[in-house]
Amino acid sequence: MFKNLLTELRENILIITINRPEKLNALNGEILKELSDAFADAKVREEIQVVIITGAGEKAFVAGADINELNKLNPIKAKEFAEFGQKVFAQISDLSKPVIAAVNGFALGGGCELAMACHIRLVSENAKFGQPEVNLGVIPGYGGTQRLPKLIGLGRAMELILSGDLIDANEAYKIGLANKVYPLAELIEKTIELSKKILSKSRIAVSLSINAINASSNLSEAEGMKFEAANFALATSTEDFKEGTTAFLEKRKAQFKGE
């Protein structure tokens, strides 16, 4: 189906592998279009309830943008290039199904931005993060200047983007860019383990939680509280709510049906 992506559906978990290891899985326009199509498909397919993104090989998640493609840009094309990448990554961050990045090596430039567009980031011990665009005389264009400060704070984001420095997995975990760090051989297994834990919860509650958390970036605190209350109320109208609260009172495991 795709030239540069491998897809595998394990039960309700879609694993998307960016498969361009000879270029350290560097992003180009073709890969971005395929990611857009893959996430449009994941949005509407009922059987897909969690998405995992990783990179082929043991060296890189995504090592950045394709420099050959980047080098040919003029200002008009560059704006289109950035806006398209931002649109694709917004598809990922706005998906009301959990998206987990399994970062298995270099996550640089567009790769770091792709990881940040995911809801959760589990990383291997050999992972390295960075926004080294200033070394190329350009700035992050796929949301790095917007997402990184929200994740790690303004000062740290300024330092990483302005210096172009790379950080290792432990530093990424320490500053909040990575959720967990695992040996490379365990990364996918641990990511699937977390996916299955999420799948055991109410599908509706998970979806509403993602929407409410995402809204916090665009709304004032007062508006966000109203949005949260509305989604809380919506959750209580579901059969999952009745099942979850009844199961708790009856001291048994809830059996959610996504209804």
pLDDT tens figures, 42-77 = 999 999 999 999 999 999 999 988 788 888 889 999
H/E segment holding residue 163: helix 154-163
Q: Is 194 in the same domain as 178?
A: yes
User: What is the percentage of the chain residues whose pLDDT exceeds 70?
Assistant: 100
Residue 137: burial class (beta carbons within 10 Å; 0-12, 13-18, 19+): exposed
Q: How far apart are CA 73 and CA 235, in angstroms?
A: 47
Is the residue at 74 inside a domain?
yes
Q: Is 178 in the same domain as 221?
A: no
- Per-residue pLDDT at 64: 87
- CATH code of 175's domain: 3.90.226.10
Is the residue at 215 inside a domain?
yes
Q: Is 188 in the same domain as 225?
A: no
Is the residue at 183 inside a domain?
yes
Find out whether 68 and 32 touch, Cβ atoms under 8 Å: no
Q: Is 71 in the same domain as 115?
A: yes
Does residue 196 have a pLDDT over 90?
Answer: yes
Is the residue at 259 inside a domain?
no
Find out whether 227 and 219 touch, Cβ atoms under 8 Å: yes
Q: How many domains does the chain have?
A: 2
pTM for this predicted structure: 0.95
Q: Is 189 in the same domain as 207?
A: no
Does residue 108 have a pLDDT over 90?
Answer: yes
Nearest to 50 by CA among 216, 193, 217: 193
pLDDT, mean over the chain: 95
Catalytic positions are 113, 133
- Per-residue pLDDT at 72: 86
- Per-residue pLDDT at 37: 97
- CATH code of 218's domain: 1.10.12
- Per-residue pLDDT at 19: 97
What digits encode the pLDDT tens for the residues 111-134? Answer: 999 999 999 999 999 999 999 999
Take residue 185 and report the two structure tokens written for it.
Answer: 């051989």
Q: Determine the structural domain holding residue 80 and report its residue range.
A: 5-199
Strand order in the sheet with 99-103: 5-10, 13-18, 50-55, 99-103, 120-124, 180-182
- Per-residue pLDDT at 253: 92
Does residue 86 have a pLDDT over 90?
Answer: yes
